Structure 1
Amino acid sequence: MRINNNISAMNTYSRLTSAQGAQSKSLEKLSSGLRINRAGDDAAGLAISEKMRGQIKGLNQSVRNAQDGISLIQTAEGALNETHSILNRMRELAVQSANDTNTNSDRNEIQKEMDQLSIEITRIADNTEFNTQNLLNGDLTAKFHIGANKGQNMTLQIGSMTSESLSVNGKAYEAQDVTGTGLSITSRDGKAVKIAYANLAAAAVTDAVEESATYDKDTNTITVTLGQNSSDASTVGTINTTNSRLKSLIEDAASKGDEVFSVSVKTAGTENTALTVKPADFTSALWTEDVSISAPKLGINVSTQGAADEAIKVIDNAITSVSAERSKLGAFQNRLDHTINNLTTTSENLAAAESRIRDVDMAKEMMEFTKNNILNQASTAMLAQANQMPQGVLQLLG
């Protein structure tokens, strides 16, 4: 019999330590709900489950991205719903104005409402925003990231829905032939527009390289730019067709906006010089006809029976354009609804797979804990018995 090395106690102690370690791990798993709490629990399983976790979080965020996309689309579509209402009212006014039971005075009153409706269409297009991004002015090209990985996105473009884009705006200024001398131009506020004009009386050139007319609303000034067919400024002179061409230039420019217009028409030559028009130099001797520019019509013209009749067709085309845009938005929204359903299903299935790797089976682990607890108690009892075994030596010593 030996007392310095109690092999039985040492063996029992080893078993007790193992049982305590297993019981501690079971407690950790039961308290966390995870089968893998550290890489040492399952190195491969940890790597796989972490990759799955990244995918799951990406899919869940993609669902939120798609939902935000739907909110953006609903914002744009809601604004276009109001644009549709305005266009239908404009069409109603055009049909009313096309009836000759109305006098010119009646049509002028109809035109006033038409102008305001046109302004409102543009205001809606310029001010409809989502998260400070303008939706309806033609600038929006949005990518919705609807997947967990790189490049998994879809692109939405919304066309310009301004009155100008829909062709239901009016000319800011309208040029007309009148009797008398000189050029008469009336601004939007009814005041006379200042004329800046070059001294052409001293020259004798009869053709121009380029012409343009620009209106500055801040200074209330129209600047006329004429060209020449040589680099010598002194050759710039009277142009017999200037007045009628200027009328055309202003009309074309006015159709492009209701505030500032500028347009150029090239004819011949390569040189051109900007000229400033002065009222003192503006005499009937320089012109073959007279021109007047009336106050603006901001909405599509319905001031005559013919114009109103033509406006009906233009407004119908605008309604069709808005309908097409709303239809596209609706289809895009439906697509996003299906995307959300797919992403949600994918995320759920991936979460289930990740759970099988990472999460603990509570019932099974409770069985393990109970077993380890019993082994721990048994090992403790057996260790006490093993520690008593060397006392048998005392009998030999007695």
Structure 2
Amino acid sequence: MRINHNIAALNTYRQLNSASTGQAKSMEKLSSGLRINKAGDDAAGLAISEKMRGQIRGLDMASKNAQDANSLMATAEGALNETHDILQRMRELAVQSSNDTNTSADRSEIQKEISQLIEETDRIASTTEFNTKKLLNGASGLKVSDGTQIANASSGPSTKQGTYSVDVTSATLADFAKTGTATGATASATVEGAGTLTVNGVDISVASTDSYQDLADKINSSVSGVVADFEGAGSTFRIRTADVGASQSLSVTEGADIIAALDYTSGGTPLAATGSNASGLTAGNFGAGATLTYDGNDVKVNGGNADGLTFSLKDTTTDTNITVNGSLSFHIGANEDQTMNVSINAMDSTSLGIKGVDVTTTTGAESAISTINDAIESVSAERSKLGANQNRLEHTINNLGTSSENLTAAESRIRDVDYALAA
């Protein structure tokens, strides 16, 4: 028997303390639901868990960002839907005004509605906004100073911000592949004689009683990609390709003298014409080292500050500018630089080229149809771009949700308590 030390009591006391500590830890875990409540519980596990928590919360916020971005683009696209309706009505009015059943007074009344529709297009472009941010004024995309000279302008991912001068007055527009223009035939005039006219390999039977309009109708209905019409004031019969550019070709052979002033009879050399691409723009205006690629009237800038900028030439009357502003950046990931950029081009009447549309004359109304067609194409391209990005964001949101769910499950296995073990 020892007097100074009660070993049995000390052992009991130690075991009691150990049990109390273990019980306290288990109660802490059970009450909090966490296996790791402090760094001492599992230092490495805590570090891994906190990194995962940062990712999870970042993914959840990125999902919200993507939803907000989707809402912004839906707002812009919805406004452009109304712009489309306006342009379709303007085109309808232009077709109406081009008919000579209308008097000058009638066309003046039609012009009143056209003018109001142009003003409404500008109002939509200047007032459409999301969270006070203007969407259709070109502040987050591209703006053209004169849409009557160029159309369908679009920047690329490498295009730097800035204003680029387009010297269209120095340019030559692309041309069709076409027959000569010296026939001098009117629509009602009778062809030179009967025979077979072969256009791009398609044989067309022509009667001696056919008028040039009859011949034009036969060509238009028989030969794909070729148009027969009357150039200028309608006094010159012409056969041309439907599109312009160096890729267009036309071959015409006559089995007998059919078309006035053109002699491609059997044994003669058939007409073999090719179109031409646009040319003449100053590449240096787009930055040092820039080169231009032409495809018909479509122009693409390669290299320089404006690398990736594309546009189509419409007219060569007045030099114009293209201003490229910064795009909208949407943060759609949990980490740095996980973003997507979307530009929304200006959709006002000046950028669309409809500012000066005038249907008070037959000639003006006819010209307005093509001008409005170009504007409709520009709005369609913008809406398609927005729709494609919206569809992309739907997948982004789904992916972010899946990633957040899986990371949450992984973080739970590290940090949450297992109630069956409570350890």
Q: TM-score, normalised by structure 2?
A: 0.55
Deviations 1:310-369 (A, max 9, x none): 10111111111101100000000000111111111111111111111111112221xx6x
Which whole-Å CA distance do the structure 1 matches of 2:88 and 2:102 have between them? 20
Partners of 1:363 and 1:97 lie apart in 2 by 84
> SS at the partner of 2:92?
helix
Supply the AA of the counterpart residue of 2:12.
T
Match of 1:19? Answer: 19
Residue of structure 1 equivalent to 2:79: 79
The match for 1:315 among 363, 372, 378 is 372
Shift of 1:3: 3.8
Amino acid across the alignment from 1:314: T
Cα distance between partner residues in 2 of 1:363 and 1:90: 74
Q: What is the alpha-carbon distance in structure 2 between the residues aligned to residue 60 and residue 363 of structure 1? A: 31
Aligned match for 2:410, one of 350, 353, 364: 353
Partner SS state of residue 5, structure 2: coil
Aligned pair partner of 1:161 in 347, 362, 368: 347
1:2 Cα deviation from its structure 2 partner: 2.4
2:333 is aligned to 147
Runs of 4+ in 1 over 3 A off after TM superposition: none
Where does 1:187-226 land on structure 2 (aligned, <5 Å)?
Answer: none
Say yes or no: does 1:336 pair with 2:360: no
Distance 2:400 2:419 in 1: 29
Residue equivalent to 2:246 = none
Partner of 1:276: none
Decide which structure has greater helix share: 1
Matches within 5 A, 1:1-398: 1-140=1-140, 141-170=327-356, 300-365=357-422
Give per-residue Cα distances to partners, 1:89-113, cap 9 Å, x unaligned. 1011101111111111111110011
**2: CA distance, partners of 1:45 / 1:135:** 47
Structure 2: which amino acid aligns with 1:169? K
* Residues in 2 aligned to 1:364 and 1:117: alpha-carbon distance in whole angstroms: 74
Question: Secondary structure of 2:421's partner?
Answer: helix
**1:216-258, Cα deviation, whole Å (9 max, x unpaired):** xxxxxxxxxxxxxxxxxxxxxxxxxxxxxxxxxxxxxxxxxxx
User: Which deviations, in whole Å up to 9, do the C-alpha atoms of 1:159-211 show, x marking residues without a partner?
Assistant: 110011111112xxxxxxxxxxxxxxxxxxxxxxxxxxxxxxxxxxxxxxxxx
SS at match of 2:37: coil
CA distance in 1, matches of 2:14, 2:34: 27
Unaligned runs of 5+ in 1: 171-299, 369-398
Q: State the alpha-carbon separation in 1 of the partners of residues 110 and 344 from structure 2.
A: 31
Report the Cα offset of residue 5 of structure 1.
Answer: 1.8
In 1, Cα distance between the equivalents of 2:2 and 2:62? 72
Q: Partners in 2 of 1:3 and 1:24 — Cα distance?
A: 34
Report the AA paired with residue 134 of structure 2: N
The amino acid that maps onto 1:52 is M
Distance 1:55 1:354 in 2: 10
- Name the structure 1 match of 2:214: none
Deviation sequence 1:26-59 (CA, Å, 0-9, x none): 1110111100000000001111111111111111
Q: Distance in 1 between matches of 2:398 and 2:364?
A: 51
Q: Which amino acid aligns with 2:411?
A: E
Residues 252-303 of structure 1, C-alpha deviation per residue, up to 9 Å, x if partnerless? xxxxxxxxxxxxxxxxxxxxxxxxxxxxxxxxxxxxxxxxxxxxxxxx1000
The whole-number CA distance in structure 1 between the counterparts of 2:95 and 2:421 is 80
d(CA) in 1 for partners of 2:3, 2:390:
84
Q: CA RMSD in A?
A: 0.9
Give, in whole Å, the separation in 1 of the partners of 2:354 and 2:419. Answer: 70
- CA distance in 1 between counterparts of 2:335 and 2:387 reads 26
Structure having the higher strand fraction is 2
Tell me which amino acid in the other structure corresponds to 2:130: F
Identical pairs, percent: 67
In the aligned structure 1, how far is the partner of 2:420 from the partner of 2:116?
Answer: 73
The separation in 2 between residues aligned to 1:23 and 1:3, in whole angstroms, is 33
How far 1:6 moved relative to its partner?
1.3
Task: Return 5+ residue gaps in structure 2 as ranges.
Answer: 141-326
Structure 1 residue 120: deviation in Å?
0.4
The aligned length equals 237
Whole-angstrom distance in 2 between the partners of 1:154 and 1:362:
43
Structure 2 CA distance for aligned equivalents of residues 132 and 319 of structure 1: 27
Q: Aligned AA for 2:329?
A: K
1:66 CA displacement:
0.3
Deviation of the 1:4 alpha carbon: 3.3
Q: Could you tell me how far apart the structure 2 residues matched to 1:78 and 1:325 are?
A: 12
